Amino acid sequence: MKPVLFSASLAALVAAASLTAQAGTLPPAPSDTIVVRLPNKAVMTLVVHDAQQLRQLPQYHLDSLVARLGGYIRRADAATKVADTERLTTVFHPNEDKPGQDLPEEIRITTRKHTDRAYGPSNKVEVLLEKKFGLVINTDRGTNDQPRAASRPDRQAYRDSMRQARWDRKSSSTDVVFDLGLNALVNNHIDRTTPVGQTPSQPLTLRTGGSRYVNIGLNFKQRLGGHRSPLYLLAGPEFAFNNYMLEGNNKWVNQNGLTSVVLETNGRQYQKTKLATSTLTVPLMLQINTHGHSHFRIGAGGFVGYRLASWTKLKYFEENTTYKDKDYGSYNLNDWQYGLQGVLGFGSLTFFAKYNLNPLFRDGQGLQAQTLSFGLRLLQ
């Protein structure tokens, strides 16, 4: 229906609408609406589901009901001001308070905290009569009959406030994390012994682009403190894959209880030679999150992980054929890994770093070095 200007009593308006319904001019839609625009820019909307409901409206004495609503709205607004949420629904039962006067059995009034923003939902009151009819009173923010257009900063501020409100109400969540980065070995030095007949190990140098780090998992976040606290505790299972690819024509060799890096001497030229591991890791971090347009986060903590598998891979070309030799084994790697980690992010960009406190290999059975992984967190 088109908007109806408020120029008569509410009862007369409803009676006129009822006659229209009886004449058969009311469209047979699932619900129909009467919109009343008041001189003070307020808008009142009556929603009915069919003509029969529209004809029943006069029995509710809406003129006196609107006068009674003033007291209900003041009580609902007072409750909203002290509520923890931005939106509050208050239920009243007029028919129980004044029995025998054919008043609605139930009135639900939904109010929002008052704000001065020029964009987003208006401060409005929603009234449901017996959950059948809807009466919505809304206030336009503009200076004329048309709502005022919001600027881009206004729209962004509204989105930020809504995002902040959602995070304020949300005390816990589960996020998928996906990290992509590189590995480096720090504090490394040559192993203590060298197998008989082999050339002593050279100082270890990794190929930067090939020594990749990939991590995927779940982070369970729990807010610490009140509903507006930015501090979270993070934990969850993660699966990490570390590649340690060697520079030059070196290869990983596991012999006589010692894992070494030796130079290939039989003339074969390697395209790739790497040691790889897969690890189940459980991080535990404290993280500070701020939300909104300047979404900032910083977190630090530790992790512990267990090696699931390890293998070496050699790729080389001989006699017009490419060979890929893959060999699984422990390679004297420490089964348990533990260390420190941290994240730093702004907006959609997040960096991570992980540092293993214990050596990659068992003491005296391989190169003594710790793993440093760093890169970008693509999902969180």
Domain locations along the chain: 4-150, 166-379
> 341-376, pLDDT tens digit by residue?
999 999 889 999 999 999 999 998 988 899 999 999
pLDDT level of residue 128 (50, 70, 90 thresholds): low
pLDDT mean over 24-45: 60
- Top pLDDT among 209 and 18 is at 209
Mean pLDDT of 146-163: 59
Confidence of residue 205 (pLDDT cuts 50, 70, 90): confident
pLDDT in tens, 261-276: 888 888 788 999 999 9
* pLDDT score recorded for residue 136: 52
- Look at residue 141 in the predicted model and tell me its pLDDT: 43
Q: Which of 65-74, 121-130, 151-160, 206-215 has the highest mean pLDDT?
A: 206-215
- pLDDT at res. 25: 44
**pLDDT interval class at 193 (50, 70, 90):** very low
Q: At 204, is the pLDDT very low, low, confident or very high (cuts 50, 70, 90)?
A: confident
Non-local (6+) Cβ contacts of 175 within 8 A are 218, 219, 221, 379, 380
Band (7; pLDDT cuts 50, 70, 90): very low
142 pLDDT above the threshold of 80? no
| Mean pLDDT calculated for residue range 95-101 | 73
Q: Higher pLDDT residue, 213 or 290?
A: 213
Residue 238's pLDDT is: 97
Q: Who has greater pLDDT, 130 or 112?
A: 112
What pLDDT is stored for residue 194 in this prediction?
Answer: 47
Predicted pLDDT at 79: 79
How confident is residue 160, by pLDDT bands cut at 50, 70 and 90? Answer: low
Segment 63-71 mean pLDDT: 71
Tokens 């930020």 belong to residue: 160
Report pLDDT for 198. Answer: 46
User: Which of 75-79, 94-98, 104-108, 130-134 shows the lowest per-residue confidence on average (mean pLDDT)?
Assistant: 130-134
pLDDT greater than 50 at residue 143? no
pLDDT, one tens digit per residue, over 301-319 is: 999 999 999 999 999 988 8
Comparing 283 with 109, the larger pLDDT belongs to 283
For residues 140 and 271, which has the higher predicted lDDT (pLDDT)? Answer: 271
Residue 121: which pLDDT band, with cuts at 50, 70 and 90?
very low
Q: Which amino acid is present at 133?
A: F
- Residue 73 has a pLDDT of 78
| Whether residue 161 has pLDDT greater than 50 | yes
